[in-house]
Amino acid sequence: MNIDISQNNGSLLLNSTDIVSAFDLIYCPIERDLTKLNSSLVLNSALRNFTIDYRLKQDLTIINGMGVTLGDSIIGISALEAIKRINSQVRIRVIRPRNCEKYVNDIYYEAKKIISKIEYMPFSLRDISPNDTNVDIGNQVYWKDFNELEMHDFFMKTMGLDYKSIDDDWKRNTWLKRAIPQNKKEKYILFCPYASTKLRSIPEKHHDKIVRMLYENYRLPVYGFGISNHPKYSNVTNMCKSTRQYIEMIANSSYLYTCDSSALHVAAGYNIPTFCIFTSIQPELRSKYYSNCTSVYIGSERVQGMHESNNPSLIQYIEKKFESYYENT
C-alpha cells in the first residue's frame, strides 16, 4: 500500500464507493483504486477546523472511530459521552475497522447507553446521510493534533467541541463506572506491566522487584497480568478472558501499578489510585486529567512521541532506561 495513503489523516475510499480503513488494508492489501476520503458530506479537522453546536443536532456518525487499541477507544467514547451530556437526544453511530481485535471492538458494546449503532467498514459512501453530522477520525495516530494534544482534548476537538471549555471531570472516563459497576469483595493490589507494544511495557526482569515493593508497601495480595515468582502474587490473566472481566479486575482493585496502557485509562474511570510509568509518550498527553494518578517519564528525545516499535535497538535502549530507573527506586 502506498505510504502516502497508509498514513493519510483520515479514511480511504475504495473504487470511489466504499469507505475503508488503512488498518483493515493491512489484513487485505489493495494496491489500486484507493483514494483519500474527501467528501463534502464529511468533516475532518485535520483538513479544516470546525465547531459544532450539538444542542442542535440529532444524528452523529463517527467514521473510523475511535482507534484500534482499547485505551484509545475508552478515551474516544468519553468524548462521545460529552456530546451526550450536551444533548441526551443525539443519536451516535460509530463506524469501526472490521479487523480490529475483538476485545477492543467489545468495549463499544459496553457503551450502549452512549452509542446507538455500531457498523463496520467497508462502508458505502452512499449510506452517509447529508442530514447527519459526519466526522472522519481515520488513522488518528498520524494526525498532528494526536501527537500534541491530550487525548481527550484531541477527540473532542476532532468532533467539533470546544475542548478547553469542557469540564475536567468529563475527561476521566467515568462512563465506565456507569456501564460496568464496581463490586468490591476483597482488597488487592493490581500489577499491569504490559502495553500493546514492547516499547511501552515494563520488562519482566523487574516484575519481582515491583511486586515485592507493592506487597511491602500495602500488605495486600498482589494480582496481575504479568510474570512474577513472589509468593504473594497471583497471575489473573486466565480469569479475565473478556474485556468486561478485565475492566472489572481493575475497577475492584485498591491500587494499580502500570505502564502507558489501557489499564491506566480504566483505572481513571473508577478513580483508582494509580502509578504509571511512561517511556515514549509524555504523561501530560495521557494522564493530565487523572487526578488520582502519579506519572513518571523515563524516556528521552530518541523515543519521544513514538507510539509503538519492535526495533531491537530501541527496545534495548528502553530496557536500559528501566534498569536505570529501578536501580534508583
Task: Say whether both 109 and 216 belong to one domain.
Answer: no
CATH for 206: 3.40.50.2000
What CA–CA distance (Å, rounded) separates 275 from 142? 28
Rounded to whole angstroms, the Cα distance separating 15 from 125 reads 11
pTM confidence score? 0.96
Record the cell numbers describing residue 137, joined without a space: 477520525
Nearby residues of 298 by Cβ (< 8 Å), 6 or more positions away: 277, 278, 279, 321, 322, 324, 325
Range of the domain at 17: 3-178
Do 35 and 171 lie in one domain? The reply is yes
**Residues 191 and 293 both lie in one domain:** yes
Q: How many domains does the chain have?
A: 2
Looking at the fold, whether 84 and 201 belong to one and the same domain comes out as no
What percent of the chain clears pLDDT 70, i.e. is strictly above it?
A: 98
Residues 195 and 278 in one domain: yes
Q: For the segment 137-193, what is each residue's pLDDT rounded down to a tens digit? A: 999 999 999 999 999 999 999 999 999 999 999 999 999 999 999 998 999 999 999
Mean pLDDT of 99-108: 96
Are 299 and 199 part of one and the same domain?
yes
Give the pLDDT mean for 108-117. 98
Residues 40 and 174 in one domain: yes
Asked if residue 166 and residue 260 are part of one domain, the reply reads: no
Q: Are residue 171 and residue 197 in the same domain, yes or no?
A: no
* pLDDT per position as a tens digit, 118-140: 999 999 999 999 999 999 999 99
DSSP 297-315: E---TTTTT------HHHH
Is 90 exceeded by the pLDDT of residue 4?
no
Same-domain check for residues 165 and 262: no
Q: Say if residue 136 is in the same domain as residue 193.
A: no
All three cell numbers of 225, joined, read 497480568
End-to-end CA, the chain: 46
Residues 225 and 321 in one domain: yes
From residue 174, alpha-carbon distances to 51, 158, 180, 290, 315 in Å are 24, 20, 10, 11, 34
Task: Give the least confident one: 15-29, 57-71, 314-328.
Answer: 15-29
β-strand pairing of 123-124 with 255-259:
unpaired
Domain boundary among 178, 209, 240: 178
Which pLDDT band holds residue 31 (cuts at 50, 70, 90)? low
